[in-house]
Structure 1
Amino acid sequence: MNALQQAHWCAHYALEKKAQDVCILHLTPLSSLTDYLILATGTSDRHVQAIAESIRLDLKQHHQISPLAIEGMEEGRWVLLDYGDLMVHVFQQTVRSFYDLEGLWAEAKRIEPAPPQA
């Protein structure tokens, strides 16, 4: 599975948990840090944690892919799942607005989540 397909799966799993404002940013032409950022918003600490945990578990169970690192799961305000070629950020709305990753990466191509292909 390539990084874009994996990004669509992450977005799909986030949307299954009722994440809001899910988007994929393509960073390959702009950064060597990662190829894609997936951004999603949860409505509470527990919701952010549930979205992030669903992505982690579903990628592991269905695709045998585990994150290289996880940050912020305990607090649930901003969880980062680092998969190398892509990074998943699940925020509460106030945190997402404050850090404004969409603004930071305004030049990145925005990809709307699509149903993933098996």
Structure 2
Amino acid sequence: MDNKQKLQNLGPNTEDKMRIVARWLHEKQGKDIKALNVEGICSITEGVVLATANNLRHGQALADFVLDMCDENKIPFSGMEGYKTGTWLLVDLNDVLVHIFQGESRGFYNLEGLWSEAPELELDLPEDEDDEDDFDD
């Protein structure tokens, strides 16, 4: 068995992991979820998932859920930063960094602008029923 096969046996590849995490965030009502492939652009990670939370508790709940689901699915993670303040939570999944922002903080730090040359991963998230209802009125 070569090294690539060994790595594949450790869990999902980076793109699959980004899609899985995006679905988890979506399931818990994370907003404006994006995934960027920063492989070759960033020296510390291969993928970045961004989401916006409604408030402090929502951001903490999103981060808690991601870590709980990683534990349940045996996806290794290194830790989390920013939990107390909650304006920008960072969940380190080794090859994927998950950034959970409050709205104003996301705009201020503008990670999408920082990684503007990174290709965005197609996530195919289900549409929110509430959002559809808003357009029907």
Using the size of structure 1 for normalisation, the TM-score is 0.91
How far off is 1:114 after superposition? 3.1
Q: List, as ranges, runs of 4+ consecutive aligned residues in structure 1 with deviation greater than 3 Å.
A: none
The 8 Å contact of residues 76 and 94 in structure 2, kept in 1 or not, is answered as no
Q: Give 2:119's aligned amino acid.
A: K
2:98 partner SS: strand
Q: Which has the higher contact order (CA 8 A, sep 6+)?
A: 1
Superposed CA offset, 1:75-109 (max 9, x none) = 21111001111100000010000000000000000
User: Are 1:79 and 2:80 counterparts?
Assistant: no
* Greater helix content: 2
Structure-2 separation of matches of 1:105 and 1:89: 13
Q: Give 1:4's aligned amino acid.
A: E
Corresponding residue for 2:78?
Answer: 68
Using the size of structure 2 for normalisation, the TM-score is 0.79
How far off is 1:32 after superposition? 2.2
User: Are 1:58 and 2:69 counterparts?
Assistant: yes
Corresponding residue for 1:32?
Answer: 43
Identity %: 34
Q: Give 1:96's aligned amino acid.
A: R
1:58 partner SS: helix
* Greater strand content: 1
Greater Cα shift, 38-47 or 75-84: 75-84
- Output the aligned Cα RMSD: 1.1
96, 101, 106: which is aligned to 1:96?
Answer: 106
Q: Mind listing any 5+ residue stretches in structure 2 that lack a counterpart?
A: 1-11, 126-137
User: Are 1:7 and 2:18 counterparts?
Assistant: yes
The 8 Å contact of residues 79 and 89 in structure 1, kept in 2 or not, is answered as yes
Corresponding residue for 2:131?
Answer: none
Structure-1 separation of matches of 2:67 and 2:41: 26
Corresponding residue for 2:124?
Answer: 114
Q: Give 1:42's aligned amino acid.
A: A
Superposed CA offset, 1:50-98 (max 9, x none) = 111111111211x212421210112211110011111000000100000
